[in-house]
Structure 1
Amino acid sequence: EMTFVTLHVGLDTFKPVEVEDITLHHIHTEYVELTEDAARLIRAAKAEGRRVIAVGTTSVRVLETAARRGFAAFSGNTDLFIYPGFEFRAVDALITNFHLPRSSLLMLVSALAGKANIDRAYAEAIAQRYRFFSFGDAMFIT
């Protein structure tokens, strides 16, 4: 099954994290929408023990925001900042591109896969001359 969620990306998404202690970084708010149909599918998948695979980091932020609201349909803003140590409640796997250094997006994928795994994946991607950033190659994080 597949469903769609919405997150209106702001320019700050691509702004580097400039603090050494990432817990002090404040992410901007972005508008998100989760329809009742999408919420129902996600709730059913989680209840049945099926994996939820997000396509893109924006989808992860919507789904993890929804998880903290009981997977209910909603529209509004989120400022959820996902970094290593984050407890994922919705997303089990992710398809995403290779992100910029010191970006909140790189921290999100590191939270899901583990920093050491991401470091190894990026080293391999560089060695193999993968294309990075928004129009580059993708990885499947499980």
Structure 2
Amino acid sequence: MEDQRQRVAGVDDAGGGLGGAGAVLLTATCAAATYRAAAAGDVASVAFVIVSYGALLLMLRFLRAYEVAPPEAAVRREGLRRRVWALCTLLTAMFAWKVAGVMTWPVALGVWAAAAVTSAAGFVLMFRQRRP
């Protein structure tokens, strides 16, 4: 158990700078997109950026909590997996909605089909597949 915590701590120390830089870049990009959309008066795009940014941050937080949770905390880990899947599905649907909105209807139908298959496959892989 102590060995696992040391390994996780080693990963945190080694990848902390890269993760921090990614978070700063993500925040700056979302802030710029929000500013541009607000300046154009596009309230829907402002809401889209804010909700997708928040959902992504929550998903990353839940993933990290899942990684560091001990294997004995099976109920907690299951709850975290459900939250991660729900946020992934939300983000997939949001981006499919945004992309499908600028496509012709046959391509939009394909975008929605791909989003549905992706979410369903994620559900099957996360919850219905047998684990060793």
TM-score (norm 1): 0.25
**Higher relative strand content:** 1
Higher relative contact order (Cα pairs below 8 Å, separated by 6+ residues): 1
